[in-house]
Every structure is written in C-alpha cells, then in structure tokens.
Structure 1
C-alpha cells in the first residue's frame, strides 16, 4: 500500500496534488490536541502544521515508522531538529524555501524604516493627540549588513535596492562571490561591524548561530547603529542587547525574541530604542498560495520517486 500523505492544509485547497496517495488533513487543531485523522503508521509524507508549538508538530512522529519526508512550512527547522531522534532512518527533513522570503523581507524593511524614522514615537504621540516632529536618520546613504545571506537575505537585498543605501555587506557561513558582489565569512564580522549603520539578521538558528549576536558582536557595532532580527530569537543574546539598548548606545527592531513569547514583565518591552513585533515575518496573505505550491510540488516529486527539494537533513540509522 502506498504510504499516506498528511497535509497541514485541506487537500481540496491544494491544486496539483498527484492522484494515487491517500490524503489526510491534520493541523493539530486550535488547542493542539486534535485527534489524528488516521493511523500515523501509514504516513509516508508529513506536512508539519504551521504556527503550532513544537510538541504539537512532533506529536505523531514516534508513531510514523514508514515516514520518508517531513515538510515544514517554516524557513527554519530548528524546532523539528530538536525531535529528530523520533524519526526513522532515511527521513528527509525539508524547509519551506520559497514560501517566506517575500513576507519576511518586507517585514525586515518595515522594521528598519520604522525604527530609523521613529514611527513608534509618532504612534505614541498620536495616541495622546500630540504633534511631535523630529529629525531622524534615513535609510538612504546608510551602510547595511545582512547576516545570513540565503534566500531571505537575498530577498532583503532586493528590497534595499530602491532605497539608495550606500553599501550592502553580505555575510554567510560560507564565503562566495555573487553577481552582486562578495559574500563575506562570519569570521570577518569583527572588521565589518564597526562600519555598519544597520545590521539585519536573517540567519537560521543552529548550534553555530545560537548566541552569535552576543556581547562582543554588539560591542563592535558603532554607536547609534540599528540591529534588526527577523531570524530566531536565540541568535541574539537578549541580556547583552538589553544592556546596550538600556545604555542608549544601540537601537533594535525585533520580530523574534528569546524568550518567546516575550513575557509581559520582561524589561525588553520597555527598553529605549527597541521596537518589537510578535514573530509575524511569515504569516501574511502571501503565505497560503506559496505554501500550497510548495506542498503540491514536493508531494508530486515524492509520489513519482523523484528527489524532493530543500532537504536540510537526512536522518541516519
């Protein structure tokens, strides 16, 4: 019997799914306790529920011995990597490359512009009915470093282009040359950071990037520089950032935090020069059409016995 396909979106909403497999819809339900749609033992392709806690996403894994592909709908797969011990050998874990680049890059630019131009202060003034003008830095003529120059980092640079920035510096785990210019190695950060006005973090969360933006990293940023994080919260050392922001030396615009959700009493909420959005880089109107196309394409390849794309890890025995 052909293994079944579990999808986090209703199959009838996804055009292009191949005939043959049995499709099951399961997204964990509103509270994460939704019953399984069938026996997990029959599942061969698991589309991971979106915007659900890690314990919900991983709940069926231990009961899926025939599993061949785990397809996330997130750019990062750190929450699934934490549960890879539950996966049988040979499972291909795939990320959602192509789904979130547009929305996340949009938010990165939104946070950058809002922080530079003082939009949060204007909103607070509007709430009080106050006309409070100020002189603010522009994005034009700034030097911007993109840390994590993958698909999202490239999309961020696409959107920086019309803003007349003075310079875009690209940094990734592996240095290389692109049509736009060089991609620097992470080891070069100490010499690059002091020249940057804005640092936009788009790197995935791995053991190598956890805490990468720590006290030493932040200390090398120039006075008044802006840190924008649309990656994962633990890439940034929260205590180190809080110290710099409280001192008034650095500003920050954060879509992700550590811890997350950020507790109401956390001092980061009240830190001067810090703008926080609640991890909304991905969930926009752009998500569902791109997610549907990804799922249809990946299931089609899997059902035809062809290699699936965007494999981050293949489990070992």
Structure 2
C-alpha cells in the first residue's frame, strides 16, 4: 500500500527581479516547475513594484520569488501586498530588498546564499593553491623569458606543503573554504570574533587573534561581510604584518580592505593579491592594480556564473516546495542575524 502524498496547495506567487536576472537564473524548466508548485504567471517579472500592474499582481500574492534587481520591499509595497507571507530569494544577500517592514510583517525569508557560496569557495580554493605554488608568477616569467629556468632556485618557497592559510571570518563561504582545504597539507587559521575556540577547531581551523592571522600566514583569504565596523578592517598595519611574498585574496567586498595600503604593498612588490572585488567595484582606468604583475584582478566572477546559476534556481525551487508543503525553510534568513550577514 502506497503512502499518501503530503497535501499540497498552490499559493499565488509572483516573480520580482530584474528582467535579465529572470532570463539568466530561471530557465524554461525552472519556470515550469514553479508553475507546477504555485499559481504563478511564469512570464510576468516585476522589476518595478510601484506600477498599477505590479499592484494588481501583488494584491493576492502570498509568495514572492526574488532575485538580483528586486526593488526594496518597503511599507508601501507591503501595503499593496496584504496577503504576502514569504520571500524566497534566488541569490545571496537579501540586504538590498528585505526592509524592516518585512520583519514587522513577520515574513518568512529564504536565501540561496548557500548555493552561491559553492563557486566562491571553489574559486578561493583554486587561488590559494595557485598562489602558494607561484603558478601565475611563474607563468608570467616563463612567458617573458622563454627559456629553461631552475624554478626551485627562482622560487624556493613555492608549494602548498605545510603552508599556513588564514581565513578571515567563518561566513557561509569561509566555512566552505575551510572544508575544501581539509584534504590538503595545510595549516588553517581562523579569525572570527563570533566563533568560539571550540567551534573553530570543530570546523578544522585554529582560532587566532586578527594580528596573528596576518603575521603567521602565507595566504590570507577575506570572507568578511561589509558592515560599518568592518569597513577598512584589513588595515595598513595588518597588511604590513603579512610576511613578505604573502598573498591576500579578497572575494568578499572591496571596502573591507584598505585599498590604498594594499596598492602600496603590491606595487612595491612585497605582497601579492588576488582580487575579485575592489573599491570601487570597477577601478578607474588608471589604477596601477590593472598592470601590477603581483595582482590577479578579476571582475567579480567568483560567484555563480553561467551554468552555476542553475544551482541557485534549484535551491530556490526546493524552498518553494517546502513552503507549499508547509515545511520550514532549509535556508532561512533570521532578522537577528541579518546585521552580521553579507
């Protein structure tokens, strides 16, 4: 005898995000799945929540599926959506659209931050291993000199065996990076004032004060959210403490690092840097970081790109199904933790 299927209703749902986001994140299969789970027009995408058409769509919406480019869900929007009970975000941070009015309403909120953390952590792992191996520097020299070189003589400190890696903040991404580092012969240090020593060790890292993180490490990877108290956290003094030849990797937010201080260190040749984020997000055309041989500069590509966007949609669809079946979200966003999230 087969078990009865859980009762499933089809709540009214609406997509709220940039048109381009909807095209990139929600393919035809994802939209068909949404239409199966909910009462939704999968072709209606709201990128402006103030229009009369948006108000008509919001009037009976119980669930919003949001993404990059979703306008803020402020009190006026919520007034137009009196039945709204939940928001499922197909990307990471919800800071740009979840407002205090959402928490006052008691909305349930979910985020695909865990899915977006996967490619960022993979990028970070790759860059840690490449940086310690001096791959990018060696490739540049080999391209320029085009001859046999004794690389052991040129880079006697190259390699990953028993090197020390520092993780700044045990965010969702920071924790995943620590996990990915487990199979490698590396010592992993962690600084996060919100993580106990016992929890840090359970994650697989040694807890240390912030200055010690920089003083002991060959490579430091930044995973700190940008908050008022973390702006410029990676200061000139901390960078000066990083050993000569060390590498700073930043996939978090550019403003967490004192960029002028970092620029001085890499232009001098003392440090290396792998920067997927900068302040501003696109540097001025005359920035020395573009041409600095000690810097690998990428344009915010560590997060979900191309086929990786399907992972975001799949997590969001799983959360939609949980909501439909009356189950709690697997990836809820709690208002009390929002102040410390990216």
1:272-283 matches, cutoff 5 A: 272-283=293-304
Q: Give the drift of 1:197.
A: 1.0
TM-score (norm 1): 0.78
* Counterpart secondary structure, 1:39: helix
Partner of 1:32: none
Over alpha carbons, which structure has the higher Rg?
2
- Paired with 1:194 and 1:237, the residues of 2 have a C-alpha distance of 17
Partner of 2:211: 190
Partner of 1:240: 261
The partner residue of 1:57 within 39, 56, 70 is 70
RMSD of aligned alpha carbons: 3.4
* Counterpart secondary structure, 2:182: helix
- Paired with 1:197 and 1:266, the residues of 2 have a C-alpha distance of 26
Q: Give the drift of 1:145.
A: 0.9
Q: Give the drift of 1:226.
A: 0.8
The partner residue of 1:6 within 15, 33, 40 is 15
Q: Give the drift of 1:232.
A: 1.8
Alignment check: 8 A CA contact 2:73 2:97 kept? no
1:244-255 matches, cutoff 5 A: 244-255=265-276
Alignment check: 8 A CA contact 1:227 1:252 kept? yes
| Structure 1 residues 196 and 129: CA distance shift in structure 2, 3 A | closer
Q: Give the drift of 1:269.
A: 1.5
The gaps in structure 2 that reach 5 residues or longer are: 1-9, 17-21, 48-52, 337-342
Does 1:163 pair with 2:179? Answer: no
- Paired with 1:305 and 1:232, the residues of 2 have a C-alpha distance of 36
* Counterpart secondary structure, 1:311: coil
Q: Give the drift of 1:24.
A: 3.4
| Structure 1 residues 285 and 150: CA distance shift in structure 2, 3 A | same
Partner of 1:24: 42
The partner residue of 1:103 within 81, 106, 119 is 119
- Paired with 2:164 and 2:147, the residues of 1 have a C-alpha distance of 31
Partner of 1:263: 284
| Structure 1 residues 26 and 147: CA distance shift in structure 2, 3 A | farther
Per-residue CA deviations over 1:180-212 (Å, capped at 9, x if unaligned) read 446637xx2123321111111122223332222
Partner of 1:300: 321
TM-score (norm 2): 0.73
Alignment check: 8 A CA contact 1:45 1:69 kept? yes
Does 1:174 pair with 2:194? Answer: yes
Alignment check: 8 A CA contact 2:15 2:44 kept? yes
Partner of 2:340: none
Alignment check: 8 A CA contact 1:41 1:64 kept? no
What is the number of equivalent residue pairs in this alignment? 300
The partner residue of 1:69 within 79, 82, 86 is 86
Between Structure 1 and Structure 2, which shows a larger proportion of helix residues?
Answer: 2
* Counterpart secondary structure, 1:200: strand
**Dislocated runs of 4+, deviation >6 Å:** 35-38, 126-129
Q: Give the drift of 1:229.
A: 0.8
